[in-house]
Chains A and B, each alone.
Chain A
């Protein structure tokens, strides 16, 4: 609700800023289920933390190819269109402001040295609210968004080997403050192919960054001696970059002009 209000305010401000004949209106509502996957393009904090713990500090990898995420959700966009009509030649350009609400589930698949992370719950509910400014040319849309993303992070664990020893450990992370929202920025391109007047398929790529502020406790069990230790307040205060590709089929309810 607050987001809608802010978005309306943004559109109105933009309308006032332009000195020509303009019209700010709610022009369309999109409902577009998406399916795709995201690849973290910065090292995952979990992997870095485990590397440090086990002594693999010399990897020097900036890309972690073994982590990916299948997402399935809906992109609900309330589209506020600002039409700029040029009285001289009649050409028309549209500048859109979006109120985005992404709701869905993410299936996280992470691997660490060939071992898959074991998760109590692979499914993460995410909700992202944001505003997108897009410039639509034909069917391409450039989307710049800012918003907040929140998804509960659950218990993660993995079996991993210590460097230079034969010892294997069970390492598990228990998240705290999981309901915190992360400031999220995204930049992406979206392509719409209209199958019918109100139905379209879309393909979207998006580069997203957010700064999580989750505190984890880390439990380490030596599988040989069965000794267990626990560290508190292992913080994830770092920036994460994801690149996502998604495709979906959407319904557009557009206001008649």
Chain B
């Protein structure tokens, strides 16, 4: 006759089995993300000096005209935050390797519908002060140059990670003015909720 003490390891094993199954099963269970909303909170622009290997915010008012850029900084704000209730023996965080996306995704409540860049000084023969020179700016991403019209979807993307809520986009001037000149640029953003954001760079001397 086996005693309880002798059977204890087996009993313990059968008690632990469900937990082990749960541990493995938790890996394969990526829940659908709960959708929340965010709003565009703050905007800022700064001039970029891209003359070296990496673009950096300019510390002077003189920049090489072939290496000028504008950094557009966007900060988003979450409109709601909810922690979904889950009924589990075990938190999925202790599973082997879940690699699930965050449980909450944020979509824009108000989207940027238009991004225009204007020159405040005479730029070239065809673009006097006040002209739209949006077509001269490009974003370099994934080894190709993207026109501003092609990056609008990125400005209104679904956000998942904390880092996404502060973004900056470098817009590079790919058509330099023909001669050295003072330049200042105005970035105008239109939002779907009717807001219009106007941002102005500092006056810079392009050489």
The interface on chain A, measured as residues whose beta carbon lies within 8 A of the other chain's beta carbons, has a size of: 14
For A196-207 the 0/1 string (1 means CB < 8 A from B) is 000000000000
Are B138 and A224 touching (Cβ within 8 A)? yes
- The residue in chain A whose Cβ has the minimal distance to the Cβ of B140 is A168
Q: Is A106 an interface residue when CB atoms closer than 8 A count as contact?
A: no
Q: Is B174 an interface residue when CB atoms closer than 8 A count as contact?
A: yes
Q: Is A139 an interface residue when CB atoms closer than 8 A count as contact?
A: no
Question: Which residues between 136 and 166 of chain A lie within 8 Å of chain B, taking CB atoms?
Answer: 159, 161, 163-166
Bound-complex Cα distance A159 to B53 (A): 12
Residues of A with C-beta under 8 A to B138: 224
Can you name 24 A-B pairs with beta carbons within 8 Å?
A114-B54, A159-B143, A161-B50, A161-B53, A163-B51, A163-B52, A163-B53, A164-B64, A164-B66, A164-B67, A165-B50, A165-B51, A165-B64, A166-B50, A166-B68, A166-B140, A166-B173, A167-B66, A168-B140, A168-B143, A223-B143, A223-B145, A224-B138, A224-B174
Bound-complex Cα distance A159 to B145 (A): 13
- The residue in chain A whose Cβ has the minimal distance to the Cβ of B64 is A164
Which residues on B are within 8 Å of A, measured CB to CB? 50-54, 64, 66-69, 138, 140, 143-145, 172-174
Residues of A with C-beta under 8 A to B145: 168, 223-224
Are A166 and B67 touching (Cβ within 8 A)? yes
Bound-complex Cα distance A170 to B172 (A): 18
Residues of B with C-beta under 8 A to A161: 50, 53
Q: Is A17 an interface residue when CB atoms closer than 8 A count as contact?
A: no
Bound-complex Cα distance A56 to B67 (A): 15
Q: Is A88 an interface residue when CB atoms closer than 8 A count as contact?
A: no
With A163-B51, A164-B51, A165-B67 given, is the CB distance from A170 to B143 under 8 Å? yes
Residues of A with C-beta under 8 A to B53: 56, 113-114, 161, 163
Bound-complex Cα distance A150 to B57 (A): 47
A144 to chain B, nearest CB (A): 40
- The residue in chain A whose Cβ has the minimal distance to the Cβ of B170 is A166
Bound-complex Cα distance A163 to B54 (A): 10
Bound-complex Cα distance A223 to B52 (A): 18
Residues of B with C-beta under 8 A to A223: 140, 143-145
The interface centre, meaning the residue of A166, A170, A224 with most chain B CB atoms within 10 A of its CB, is A166
What 4 pairs across the A-B complex have the smallest Cβ distances?
A: A166-B172, A165-B66, A113-B53, A164-B51
Residues of A with C-beta under 8 A to B54: 113-114
- The residue in chain B whose Cβ has the minimal distance to the Cβ of A113 is B53
Please name 14 further chain A to chain B contacts, defined as beta carbons within 8 Å, in addition to the given A166-B68, A166-B174, sorted by A numbering: A159-B143, A161-B50, A161-B53, A164-B66, A164-B67, A165-B66, A166-B50, A166-B69, A166-B172, A167-B66, A168-B140, A223-B143, A224-B145, A224-B174
Bound-complex Cα distance A170 to B145 (A): 13
For A151-189 the 0/1 string (1 means CB < 8 A from B) is 000000001010111111010000000000000000000
Residues of B with C-beta under 8 A to A164: 51, 64, 66-67
Residues of B with C-beta under 8 A to A167: 66
- The residue in chain B whose Cβ has the minimal distance to the Cβ of A118 is B143
Bound-complex Cα distance A159 to B140 (A): 12
Residues of A with C-beta under 8 A to B173: 166
Residues of A with C-beta under 8 A to B69: 166
Residues of A with C-beta under 8 A to B140: 166, 168, 223
A52 to chain B, nearest CB (A): 15
